[in-house]
A and B are shown apart, each in its own frame.
Chain A
Amino acid sequence: MAKMTMVQALNLALRQEMTRDDSVVMLGEDVGPDGGVFRVTDGLFDTFGEQRVIDTPLAESAIIGMAVGMAVYGLKPVCEIQFSGFAYQNFHQLENHAARMRWRTQGRLNVPLVMRAPYGGGVRALEHHSESREAYWAHTPGLKMVIPSGPRNARALLVSAIRDPDPVIFYESKALYRALREEVPEEEETLPIGTSQLVREGGDLTLIAYGAMLQPTLEAAAELQKEGIEAAVVDLLTISPLDDTLIVQSIRQTGRAVVVHEAPRSFGPGAEIIARLMEGAFYYLEAPIERVTGYDVIIPYFSREKFYIPTVGRIIEAARSTLSQ
């Protein structure tokens, strides 16, 4: 198996799906000859041509709005929004139409589009380029919200997202794009959307993370092990529909949990995760569940962003805090 970065793995997923199914079309700003600002669509234009790898005018609402029409027609548009911070200009197309078409037409029409967007901080980017606002999408009935945490699951989840009959928001961590390499099989691999994964076993507490936060969470778990603390780690992979079976099961065993995300704390995904744990594992809890998150502020410019994004140290501290109670 070849070792790939997340960018290469996503490119593989797109290339294979476009080869397999001529309904799959790409559209977005600079996705053509330029290969996308992060090069995720590199080379696809040369292989599939301008009819299928569509460089759009600079218009986010148009990208998603046109994709709604394409998807109703029977195509499977994969839209690239250059940065998630620019997706607010197409929010209304997803909320008002993509998310509702099946419901509105009682199942007659559906919108199987994917909106890919790089999200999150840690790469010293400009303002509007570092937000982690997955809660907006997860709060919208009718949408699915997927956030892979590494090259291999990114590839498998993107294939599933393209084949999914419902609209899927697919957030890709910029910090992970080239940070690590994993072996990715050339042959087809999918992961079911709506399924989380236990990525580390442990009986003392459960750390719950997703996307870019999985790596510092795993590092924290490794550090804690040096102190004799065994932390289970769950990678959510899908924020909506949230798979609460695994986390409830894990908390019933460990009695303690820390939820880690980059998004602001209030009304963030952690609040929903903890609510599910209260519903499913309240009588097993031995301490309040801790949250390690971004603060409820605009993510600062890059000189200070490292103080905003959850760190290994903050995760360890939260784990010790919950273990001490």
Chain B
Amino acid sequence: MPRKQLNIARSIEYLSILDEHGNLDKDLEPDIPAEKLLELYRAMLLGRRFDERMLDLQRQGRIGTFPPIKGQEAAQLGAVFQLRPRDWMVPAFRETAAEIWRGRSLESVILYYNGFNEGTVISAKQKDMPMAVPVATQILHAVGLGYAAKYRQTNEIVMCFFGDGATSEGDFHEALNCAAVYQTPVVFVCQNNQWAISVPLKKQTHTTTIAEKSLAYNMAGIQVDGNDVLAVFNAVGEAAQRARTGGGPTLVECVTYRIMMHTTADDPSRYRSEEEVKAWEKKDPLPRFAAYLEQKEILDAGSRQKIEAEVLEQIQTAIDAVEKEMPKLGDPRDMFNHLYAELPPYLKNQQKELTRCLENGGEVKNG
């Protein structure tokens, strides 16, 4: 038999609606009510200001290590805006803005980054998974949630976040493969922020885009300008609709940039240039969206200042509340809680051992 071409190649669509120069594609502009647009702006600004304040706190030694999100607000919020409360969100570890939109309190974020397990509590109303630190592992959980939602016929969908580095892990590929095989209602949102700690995208993958990886699994895939909140909103909206109507999973690649460090323990000046960061700062999603809203006369200098003041006050109130609450926390015996539904006898003994140690002023006594 001769060699021949099998007709399986497909192309990947790229979507941009509002570019960095303020050009708007009116045909693609989503029809979002003014009130909702303002909510979105407020959420993006809150994400930005909270992040900046967290960095200050970390530098002052008032919180521990945390991963800043600056520059990725549009990718997170444009996507999560498409979820209904009854849908599921599965974050990685840099989705603070999305988590807050879903209902996580600023207080819980501060508590978590101060090393208190109490900061990971998810309210009963929120159908969100806790943040996952091991890279790409959470993507499979999204597929399992999606499978269960489909099995129960609840019409819920699942949105899963991860970064470009995650796409090198086996779990990413296993997850996309399984999601496609079972046609689970999952929207995979890759925030391609160009750097996995110090490794740039070109050393992370040999493909031109992350989105094209969807082709190998025969699922829908699209690349969007991740700093264009309208493009993210539209692309993820289409993906969410596809998931809700039985059309299966979608991989959405949001091309964005991590303006700050990987975490506060990282020094990005060792591996990337100032010029690169400056070039991306010009593509900042926040002023771009503000300019759009001003052009639409939804926002003006006065209302911008008002929202800014409200956001800063909300952040300060949360910090004050947590700092007042924290001294009351910290009973070390809590480390035994919630490990099992019921504490087994050997752990009860270990808990008693710690109690004795605490009663003796910290002196360790076994037996």
Contact = CB atoms under 8 A, between A and B. Distances in A.
A65 B148 contact: no
A244 B346 contact: yes
Main secondary structure of the interface of B (DSSP, over half): helix
B165 to A, nearest CB: 16
A165 B341 contact: yes
Contacts of A108: 121-122, 124
Given A108-B122, A141-B339, A69 B174 contact: no
Interface residues of A, number: 49
A73 B344 contact: no
A68 B134 CA distance: 15
Given A66-B144, A96-B137, A102-B341, A57 B174 contact: yes
A67 B118 contact: no
A312 interface: no
Nearest to A144: B340
A61 B174 contact: yes
B120 A68 contact: no
A59 interface: yes
B346 A69 contact: no
Contacts of B224: none
Nearest to A55: B181
Contacts of B140: 61-62, 64-66, 68-69, 93
B143 A66 contact: yes
A88 B130 CA distance: 24
Chain A CB within 10 A, most for which of B117, B138, B141, B339: B141
Nearest to B139: A65
Chain A CB within 10 A, most for which of B133, B178, B340, B341: B340
A65 B117 contact: no
Contacts of A103: 117, 337-339
Nearest to A243: B345
A242 B344 CA distance: 9
B174 A241 contact: no
A196 B346 CA distance: 14
Contacts of B138: 97
Contacts of B151: 25, 51-52, 75
Contacts of A107: 337-338
Contact of B144 (A65, A102, A105, A106): A65
Contacts of B337: 103, 106-107
B201 interface: no
B175 interface: yes
A96 B121 CA distance: 17
Contact of B146 (A69, A105, A166): A69
Nearest to B173: A59
A87 to B, nearest CB: 15
Chain B CB within 10 A, most for which of A51, A103, A164, A194: A103
Interface in A54-80: 54, 56-57, 59, 61-62, 64-75, 77
A53 B117 CA distance: 36
A142 B337 CA distance: 11
Given A73-B148, A109-B122, A194-B344, A59 B177 contact: yes
Contacts of A227: none
A279 B367 contact: yes
B129 A72 contact: yes
B89 to A, nearest CB: 12
Contacts of A241: 340, 344-347
A293 interface: no
A62 B178 CA distance: 8
Given A75-B148, A75-B151, A141-B339, A66 B344 contact: no
Nearest to A25: B151
Nearest to B341: A165
A70 B148 contact: yes
A320 interface: no
A96 B122 contact: no
Chain A CB within 10 A, most for which of B129, B158, B338: B338
Contact of B117 (A69, A104, A166): A104
B100 interface: no
B146 to A, nearest CB: 7
A82 interface: no
Contacts of B134: 92, 96
A157 to B, nearest CB: 16
Interface in B220-247: none
Contacts of B139: 65
B346 to A, nearest CB: 6
B339 A74 contact: no
A84 interface: no
Contact of A67 (B120, B129, B144, B344): B144
Interface in B92-137: 117-118, 120-122, 124, 129-130, 132-134, 137
Nearest first, the 4 closest Cβ-Cβ pairs linking A and B are: A69-B144, A65-B140, A241-B344, A73-B148
12 contacts: A59-B178, A62-B177, A68-B144, A73-B144, A77-B144, A97-B137, A97-B141, A105-B338, A108-B124, A241-B344, A245-B345, A279-B367
Given A69-B143, A75-B148, A142-B339, 11 more contacts: A51-B151, A62-B174, A62-B177, A73-B144, A93-B137, A96-B134, A103-B117, A106-B117, A194-B344, A241-B347, A245-B345
Interface of A: 25, 51-52, 54, 56-57, 59, 61-62, 64-75, 77, 92-93, 96-97, 101-110, 141-142, 144, 164-166, 194, 241-245, 279
